[in-house]
Structure formats: C-alpha cells, structure tokens
Amino acid sequence: MTDSVLVTGSSRGIGRAIALRLAGAGYDVVLHCRSRREEAEAVQADIQAIGRQARVLQFDIGDRTACAAALEADVAAHGAYYGVVCNAGLTRDGAFPALTGEDWDQVLRTNLDGFYNVLHPLVMPMIRRRAPGRIVCITSVSGLIGNRGQVNYSASKAGVIGAAKALAVELAKRRITVNCVAPGLIDTDMVDADLPLEEILAMIPMQRMGTPEEVAAAVQYLMSPEAGYVTRQVLAVNGGLC
C-alpha cells in the first residue's frame, strides 16, 4: 500500500508545488483547499495523470470543528497518513498601529490555531500505524527574524516553529519526525504587488526570489526515509537572507 501525505493549502503556489513533487516521488496525496475547489481538482488531475492517487478535502483550517470532522472521516475511510504538510495560511499585513483586532485574530486563528486543528485529529492515528511518519510545517523567514508590517504573521509563524519543536520531542520515540521549512521571498501570487521588490532583493545575498519548486524540494527531503534522523529542525529556504 502506498503511503499517503496530506498537503494543506495545495490548490496553488507552494502547496501545489509540494503536492506535485511528493506525487512525483511516489506518494499518494490528499489535497486540501478552503475555497478554490476547481484549482485543487486540477492539481488532482495532474497527479492522477502520473499514476498516483489523489483526493480533495475542503474545509477551513481555522474552523476546529470542520477540521476534525473532515480529517477524522478521511482517516476512517482511507487509513492514517504517513505524512502531513501544514502549508495553508494567510497574511493580513499592515503597520502594527493600523492592525485591527480582526487582522490579528484571523491570522493567528488560521496560521497558529490551524497547527492544532489539523494535527490534533491526525497524530494518534499516525502513532497507531506503528511505523515512521513525517510532519512538515511551512513557516516563514518572518517567524525567524520578524518582518516590518507583519507583526501578526511573524507571531503566528514563530508560534508554529515553537509548537513544532515541542511536538517533535513528544513524537521522536514514535519515529515520527516534525520539522519546519521556512521560506523567504518566494515567487507566488501571494507576493504583494506593492512590495518594494528591488529594495528587498538587495537584502537577499542571492538577489532573487525563490521558486515554489525549491521549497517543495526541501519538503520532499524531510518527507523521505533518508531524513529519519532529522527532527526538531527549521530548514530555511531564503537565498541567505538569515
């Protein structure tokens, strides 16, 4: 039986690249979207075209009840996952004095609470497999060094890093690794058109944006059997920014 990996937020961008990369590496993929069902189904078709299995789950990772219902039902129907990639997230950028309570709450609810909402229904089934497993959280350079205009986002991603490190300790004896991949500036449609791109690129030693495929390659390594002794780590994919 082929191992299955859940990739949240996999209808586009980094999540899509991760899903396709893992399918190419031989995994069956459980895709996820909140609202872009047609795009997720297009990724599903791409994966099926290379001979791997894929299915789509749709729910809001910020909704704890919806998360548990969807994930518990999927595990009951198809069995526990080998791996989980916590990729889904959002930004609500702005200078701190201008951030609204909703800006703060929505980012923390999705990015940080989403860690619990997605993983809590899945960890015990993974343990009961009595086999190695992998959890990879997509965080951000903002969670490592902070970023102007992203106090809420930086807090959420730093929180995920801390949570992942703690969970890694809890699961190590179970042979389930927990790691983070922290991208820097990646060329996706999430990049704000108003960003001072030249100014930011000047701060990056490699002087370019990364690609979703470069992030996906890092995830593939951490998901692989060869990474069985790598846990509680943050792998930065940021062109040398930090």
Which residues form the catalytic set? Answer: 153
121 contacts 72 by C-beta, under 8 angstroms: yes
The token pair that represents 176 in the structure block: 């389930």
87 contacts 33 by C-beta, under 8 angstroms: no
The CB density around residue 144, as the number of other CB atoms within 10 Å, is 20
How far is Cα of residue 235 from the mean position of the Cα atoms in its chain?
Answer: 13
The token pair that represents 167 in the structure block: 């969970």
Alpha-carbon gap, residue 235 to 184, rounded angstroms: 11
Alpha-carbon gap, residue 220 to 109, rounded angstroms: 27
145 contacts 242 by C-beta, under 8 angstroms: yes
Alpha-carbon gap, residue 176 to 222, rounded angstroms: 11
Alpha-carbon gap, residue 181 to 17, rounded angstroms: 14
* Phi, psi values for residue 30, rounded to 5°: -100, 110
